[in-house]
């Protein structure tokens, strides 16, 4: 498959409708790309997510992973079915180098009823992973 | 052990210092109790966490679980060592009945170097679990 | 609900048919009880599962958790639909006191398409958990 | 780093000493390679691991992942410190194509006290993942 069901603009619009609280108070989560069984989302550095010492909050990274996986699934199955997160697992590995974080997702399985994906979160231009996550999503019957 | 190292007021103050962004924009996460190897935290219903359809956002619940586990650990080991989340696993089970959520945590292990706890998230006065989580925290050498 | 769909004898027979390799070489996993949304299974101590130092092997405990959860689900939904493990998470907490282990399972959710359960593994007559696990199982359409 | 602390032969010998029950009854788990922050292990198809319908058992795959991750860690830190599994997460994705399975591991973090790795399990010569796993291991002070 070389194309997604929804392109980047359509997926962004869908996320805005589905998650109006995602960027409440100023845009921080930005979907940068969608592709076959994949998506990339950026969490732009922002005071709201700072912790003492300058590291980024765990919950902010968990939200990034969840939104990024959701974007990858929706881009690949289209807006006709709504995926619901059933489980998520996070491993927090290293402090990030700066404020911005990039989440690269890959769907390991995209079935009729379940989607499973993984997320790698890193600082831009860095190979060292800040966090790694896995998510399972339930796809309702259409 | 019948008492915690930090009581409820001390633990609340510690959380406010460590996570100033936790309740940015208005108090939503409220630590209600700490006890031996346990803690209880409420996420007060708020527009910020609403999703279309009235359900609560996954990221809000994940933040609740993380803060609640952190509170349980800190209350039980004191402010001298800072626990860092190393991994978290969430299972999202049911839609909540209303806007408020209660997280009850229990530490399954509180070692010198690692703490492991579980969280049960439910609507107040309800036995049906909305979500269940497990977390592992690294305790640095003191 | 006060009764399961399959009783203990029926569930045992079902497990023997479904998992002939479970006790290959001598019975080690014994289903002791099934109940509403629950089951209890024992792993009888055996040389095969010993590690140097006398602790029990991780894989033996993971198998115990998987079989015990499967038993709880099947006892509660009956033999007409076969659950398939989609994900499992384990936390290994303490060395066991002896050779035998008891797994107590509780189903947190038993839906039409997904079942989620947790397992507590401990030495008999001990409250200290040796391991804790969560599993998600997919229930095919019937 | 271009070389591991223990080479393949040394790591195999170490596993045989540490896990004498791993291949009790006939060799089934074979460590095929170790490298910087990585290892590859094969589970050779065997009747013992068959389930009705010809698929491979979950517990067999979980053992494969645990042994493979352990091998990767030990090859990279040497035999002087013993890693202990603290947590493991598995996602079971697809039925395997045949009897043999290959586990490719990659260590995401190899710290002084914690190691985190991921495992991809697939049929030989296949890109479709049968299972994916993550593990966290505690490294005792040396």
Q: What is the pLDDT of residues A91-116, one digit of tens each?
A: 999 988 778 999 999 999 999 899 99
Q: Does the global pTM surpass 0.80?
A: yes
Tell me whether strands D38-43 and D101-110 are parallel, antiparallel or unpaired.
antiparallel
Q: What is the pLDDT of residue C110?
A: 94
Query: Which residues in chain C are closer than 8 Å to D17, comparing Cβ atoms?
Result: 52
Cross-chain CB nearest to C108 (options B109, B116, B129): B129
D138/B114 CB distance under 8 A: yes
Query: Which residues in chain C are closer than 8 Å to A136, comparing Cβ atoms?
Result: 86-87, 136
CA C133/CA C68 separation, integer angstroms:
11
Mean pLDDT, to the nearest integer, of C66-87?
Answer: 90
Q: Cβ distance C56 to C44 under 8 Å?
A: no
Buried b / exposed e over D23-57, threshold 16 CB at 10 Å, is beeeebbebeebbebbbbbbbebbeebbeeeebbb
Q: Nearest CA to A51 among B22, B9, B72? A: B22
| A residues 71..90 contacting C (CB < 8 A) | 86-87, 89
**Predicted confidence (pLDDT) at residue C93 exceeds the cutoff of 70:** yes
Residue C122 belongs to some domain of the structure: yes
With tokens 């909305």, the residue in question is B130
**Predicted confidence (pLDDT) at residue D12 exceeds the cutoff of 90:** yes
Which residues sit opposite A119 in a β-bridge?
A105, A133
| B residues 101..140 contacting D (CB < 8 A) | 113-114, 116, 136, 138
CA A67/CA A103 separation, integer angstroms:
10
Q: Cβ distance D63 to C62 under 8 Å?
A: yes
CA D71/CA D83 separation, integer angstroms:
10
CA C47/CA C51 separation, integer angstroms:
9
Distance between first and last Cα of chain A: 21
Q: What is the pLDDT of residue A67?
A: 94
B21 touches chain A (CB under 8 A): yes
The CA-CA-CA angle for residues C48, C49, C54, to 5°, reads 115
Q: Nearest CA to C137 among A138, A66, A82? A: A138
Q: Nearest CA to C59 among D19, B89, D39, D104? A: D19
Q: Nearest CA to B39 among B21, B16, B64? A: B64
Greater confidence, A25 or B98? B98
Interface pTM, i.e. ipTM: 0.89
Enter the tokens of residue A126. 């860095």
Across chain D, mean pLDDT equals 88
Phi, psi of B141 (to 5 degrees): -60, 140
Number of domains into which chain C is organized: 1
DSSP string, B109-130: EE-SSEEEEEEEEE-TT--SEE
Q: What is the pLDDT of residue A36?
A: 97
Query: Which residues in chain A are closer than 8 Å to B24, comparing Cβ atoms?
Result: 48
With tokens 């070692």, the residue in question is B111
Mean pLDDT, to the nearest integer, of D99-105?
Answer: 94
Q: Residue B126 sits in which domain range?
A: 8-138
Helices (H) and strands (E) in chain C, counts: 2, 6
Percentage of chain B beyond pLDDT 90 is: 62
Residue C3 belongs to some domain of the structure: no
Cross-chain CB nearest to B114 (options D86, D89, D116): D86
Residue C55 belongs to some domain of the structure: yes
Q: What is the pLDDT of residue A52?
A: 57
Give the CA radius of gyration of chain D: 14
Enter the tokens of residue B133. 């989580």
Residue D1 belongs to some domain of the structure: no
DSSP string, A13-75: HHHHHH-TTTTTTS--EEEEEEETTEEEEEE---GGGB-TTSPBPHHHHHHHHHHHHHHHHHH
Residue A2 belongs to some domain of the structure: no
Mean pLDDT, to the nearest integer, of A56-77?
Answer: 92
Greater confidence, A45 or D115? D115
Greater confidence, D83 or C68? C68
| C residues 35..74 contacting B (CB < 8 A) | none
Residue B2 belongs to some domain of the structure: no
Neighbouring chains of C at 3+ CB pairs under 8 Å are A, B, D
Query: Which residues in chain D are closer than 8 Å to B136, comparing Cβ atoms?
Result: 86-87, 136
What CATH number is given to the structural domain containing D41? 3.10.129.10
Residue C12 belongs to some domain of the structure: yes
Q: What is the pLDDT of residue D55?
A: 63
A46-60, B59-73, D69-83: range with lowest mean pLDDT: A46-60
Q: What is the pLDDT of residue C39?
A: 98
Distance from B5 to chain A by nearest Cα, in Å? 23
Residue to mutate among B88, B91, B131, B140, with most A CBs inside 10 A, is B88
Percentage of chain C beyond pLDDT 90 is: 62
Q: What is the pLDDT of residue D32?
A: 97
Distance from D35 to chain C by nearest Cα, in Å? 24
**Predicted confidence (pLDDT) at residue B81 exceeds the cutoff of 70:** no
Q: What is the pLDDT of residue C2?
A: 65
Q: What is the pLDDT of residue D2?
A: 65
Q: What is the pLDDT of residue B23?
A: 84
Query: Which residues in chain D are closer than 8 Å to C21, comparing Cβ atoms?
Result: 47-51, 57
Q: What is the pLDDT of residue C51?
A: 60
**Predicted confidence (pLDDT) at residue D106 exceeds the cutoff of 60:** yes
Q: How many residues does chain A have?
A: 142
Task: Reduce the DSSP state of residue C16 to 3 states and report it.
Answer: helix
C25/D21 CB distance under 8 A: no
Compute the Cα dihedral for C120, A132, D39, A114 and give only its sign: positive
Query: Which residues in chain B are closer than 8 Å to D87, comparing Cβ atoms?
Result: 87, 116, 136
Across chain B, mean pLDDT equals 88
Q: What is the pLDDT of residue A83?
A: 83
Percentage of chain A beyond pLDDT 90 is: 62
Residue B57 belongs to some domain of the structure: yes
B18-22, B132-136, C135-139, D111-115: range with lowest mean pLDDT: B18-22
Q: What is the pLDDT of residue A76?
A: 95
CA B106/CA B41 separation, integer angstroms:
12
Distance from C86 to chain A by nearest Cα, in Å? 9
**Predicted confidence (pLDDT) at residue D89 exceeds the cutoff of 60:** yes
Query: Which segment, B22-26, C21-25, C73-77, is predicted with the most confidence on average?
Result: C73-77
Q: What is the pLDDT of residue D4?
A: 93
């Amino acid at each position: 498959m070389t194309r997604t069901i929804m392109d980047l603009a359509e997926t962004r619009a869908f996320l805005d409708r589905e998650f109006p609280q995602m960027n409440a108070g100023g845009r921080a989560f930005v979907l940068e790309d969608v592709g076959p069984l994949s998506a990339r989302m950026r969490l732009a550095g922002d005071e709201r997510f700072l912790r003492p010492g300058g590291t980024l909050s765990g919950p902010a990274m968990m939200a990034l992973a969840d939104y990024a996986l959701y974007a990858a699934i929706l881009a690949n199955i289209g807006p006709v079915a709504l995926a619901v997160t059933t489980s998520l697992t996070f491993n927090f590995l290293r402090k990030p180098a700066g404020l911005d974080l990039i989440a690269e997702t890959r769907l390991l399985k995209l079935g009729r009823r379940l989607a499973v994906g993984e997320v790698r979160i890193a600082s831009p231009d860095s190979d060292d992973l800040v966090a790694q996550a896995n998510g399972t999503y339930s796809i309702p019957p259409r």
